[in-house]
Structure 1
Amino acid sequence: MKQGSHDSAITLRSPLAEDAADLHTLVAECPPLDPNSLYCNLLHCTHFSGTSVAATRRDSQGNERLVGFISAYIPPAQPDTLFVWQVAVAQEARGEGLGRRMLDAIVQRPACAGVRYINTTITPGNQASWALFESWARRHGAPTTSHVHFERERHFAGRHDDEHLMRIGPFELAAEFAT
């Protein structure tokens, strides 16, 4: 972890309903992420708490601040795949490997015991996300593929960039995390 003005380490935990408003604020502070409704963020923190992660840090007064979040779920028709919806990292926590640590924390959970692939969609210009997922795949020796999944004109009526589906896997992580 980078040394600096932070008094404590980052804690990774399952999200709570009470995190929804802070998640809403965090996503707004992390362009180019698409903002979701506060209610949608509440669903991320409750319905998807087993496959999402909240990263918090205590300040010098002991207050917990949300500094990172991954929204993810296992699609019902793809029980071997974790779909990562959004990765948000606060400016103050960037450069600490937090995205990688959050991904590792999720795939180690019992809810992800059968997961062998990670899917995510990324716009062409979101270099931070491309770098995170490519690095994570290399680190775990997993192949990647990508292709345009949602098209600007066809799916977004010209109001959003293309979204490329990146698929990582297959991978086998149980033994890797057991050591």
Structure 2
Amino acid sequence: MPAVPRLESPEVADGAAIWRIARDSKTLDLNSSYSYLLWCRDFAGTSLVARGADGEPVGFITGYVRPERPGTLVVWQVAVDEAHRGRGLAAALLEGLTSRVAGERGISSLETTITPGNTASERLFTSYAERHGAQVAREVLFDAALFPDGGHDPEVLYRIGPLSD
């Protein structure tokens, strides 16, 4: 049985591996490699990496606390390397991050966006809400027509809260 990955705050040096995991997921919008480096520097306190036995990232979750709603954690991206999928690692990353941020910053709700048909993300976040006794409200946040590059599905906002243990 493989070792359980360690969950830790990302370091700038993890940016390249996180970018590769996002690219290889084939479901996430891939941001520039530069943005992942910045994310690891500026949002390490609201993000986690899962490290394999060799210390390299095998999964990640990135987020931030909304400036206008400081009780809300926005989860930006979650991805797990293909070789580590199917073991509950995405759920562990989500639980680990929300637990840490709730303890440090007192969040009471979670937001994320999911494109229609992304069943894995829908299951991840709705099961999280069930475990925490929270309601899930859904609405289109960004209609497909808003994306300048075309061909982008709408982004549906999932508001989860209030959170309880």
TM over 0.5: yes
Q: How does 1:13-162 map to 2 (within 5 A)?
A: 13-58=8-53, 63-109=54-100, 112-153=104-145, 155-157=146-148, 158-162=150-154
Whole-Å separation in 2 of the counterparts to 1:112 and 1:32? 31
Q: Deviations over 1:14-48 (max 9, x none)?
A: 00000001011110110110111111101211111
Report SS of the residue matched to 2:134. coil
* Percent of matched pairs sharing the same residue: 42
Tell me how far apart the structure 2 counterparts of residues 166 and 108 of structure 1 sit (CA, whole Å): 19
| Per-residue deviation, 1:12 | 0.2
The structure with the largest alpha-carbon Rg is: 1
Structure 2 unmatched runs, 5+: none
Q: Structure 2 CA distance, aligned partners of 1:139 and 1:92? A: 26
Structure 1's unaligned 5+ residue stretches are none
Letter in 1 for 2:135: P
